Amino acid sequence: MTAMVKAEGVHKSFGAVQVLKGIDLEVAPREVFCLIGPSGSGKSTFLRCINHLEKINSGRLYVDGELVGYRQKGDKLYELRDREVAEKRRDIGMVFQRFNLFPHMTAVENVMEAPVQVKHESKAVARERALKLLDRVGLSDKAGSYPSQLSGGQQQRVAIARALAMEPKLMLFDEPTSALDPELVGDVLDVMRGLAEDGMTMVVVTHEMGFAREVGDSVVFMDDGVVVESGHPREVLTNPRHERTKSFLSKVL
């Protein structure tokens, strides 16, 4: 079985600052894969590399067996054209910390936008599916609302529905609950839990240790651009072997 995401020695630097210093990991299909670690550890950057929002400097990154951002012919790498990169991103949903909903469109228009514009679905079909997705995230009554009329938790759920509308095989979550008021976190996590139960492959950067322990199939603790420790959530979170993991967990738990 090919891994959904496979990283081999992934390096990334911004100017002189090395953010990722050789990441090796594998995400199996249907797995819920949680990335934890202090801020600045590179976990969000790594997530953004998976759908090529950031270019990696060395190493190899594969999604579903295909190289991200490049095509290999013989021993030469060719950069993909923008159009080809866009095509591959269709299959990867992404949810951002700050939602990034399109403010000039209503909730249902946000969800319809990509299917209509990218997949050229008819508006009627796209709207019907968008309404179903909004129902699935518990917002069927907010279809006509603009993002500014929704709470943070509702916006994030619309954002999840928007990503699901493209029927992705992989979902990336970049600290999806970090910008939310504490009482709104639960609704978003419930939606994500439902997705996990349906067998969606998910890579989740999170500070919600409860979610990682309960829903996660594996957890990776990153610090300073390297993977410090990985394994089953119960082991990593309750029985950390490394000092850095221990000290991080003692601060957040």
Partner 1 sequence: MTVEIDKAGPKDAPPPAPENIKAIPVRHYGRWVTAVVIIGVLASIVYAFSQGDVNWGAIPDYFFDDRILKGAGMTVWITIASMVLGVVLGILLAVMRLSKNPVSAAIAWGYIWFFRGTPVYVQLLVWFNLGLIFHYINLGPIYQDEWSDFMTPFLAALLGLGLNEAAYMAEICRAGLLAVDEGQTEAAHALGMSHAKTLRRIVLPQAMRVIVPPTGNEFINMLKTTSLLAVVQYGELLRGAQDIAQDSGSTTEMLFLAALWYLILTSVLSVGQYYLERYYARGSSRHLPMTPLQRIRANLFSFSNRSAGGVGTS
Which positions lie near partner 1, rule CB under 8 A?
51, 53, 82-83, 86-90, 92-94, 96, 98, 100-106, 113-114, 117-118, 146-149, 159, 162-163, 166
Of the pair 157, 236, the CB lying nearest partner 1 is at 157
Name the maximum alpha-carbon separation found in the chain.
56
Of the pair 4, 236, the CB lying nearest partner 1 is at 4
241 contacts 228 by C-beta, under 8 angstroms: no
In which order are the strands placed within the sheet that holds 218-223?
A: 92-95, 170-174, 201-205, 32-36, 218-223, 226-231
**In the bound complex, what is the minimum distance in angstroms from residue 201's beta carbon to partner 1?**
16
**In the bound complex, what is the minimum distance in angstroms from residue 213's beta carbon to partner 1?**
28
Of 133, 196, 188, 184, which is closest to residue 161 (Cα–Cα)? 133
Of the pair 93, 240, the CB lying nearest partner 1 is at 93
Of 141, 68, 57, which is closest to residue 107 (Cα–Cα)? 141
Element (H, E) at 37: none
Of the pair 49, 219, the CB lying nearest partner 1 is at 49
**Strand residue runs (E) in the chain:** 5-14, 17-27, 32-36, 58-63, 66-67, 70-73, 76-79, 92-95, 170-174, 201-205, 218-223, 226-231
What token pair was written down for 86? 């866009």
**In the bound complex, what is the minimum distance in angstroms from residue 169's beta carbon to partner 1?**
13
191 contacts 160 by C-beta, under 8 angstroms: yes
**In the bound complex, what is the minimum distance in angstroms from residue 115's beta carbon to partner 1?**
9
d(CA 149, CA 97): 18
Of the pair 142, 221, the CB lying nearest partner 1 is at 142
**In the bound complex, what is the minimum distance in angstroms from residue 177's beta carbon to partner 1?**
17
Sequence-ordered list of residues with C-beta below 8 angstroms from that of 27, at least 6 positions apart, any chain? 3, 4, 5, 6, 33, 201, 203
**In the bound complex, what is the minimum distance in angstroms from residue 217's beta carbon to partner 1?**
24
Of the pair 83, 251, the CB lying nearest partner 1 is at 83
**In the bound complex, what is the minimum distance in angstroms from residue 118's beta carbon to partner 1?**
5
Of the pair 92, 143, the CB lying nearest partner 1 is at 92
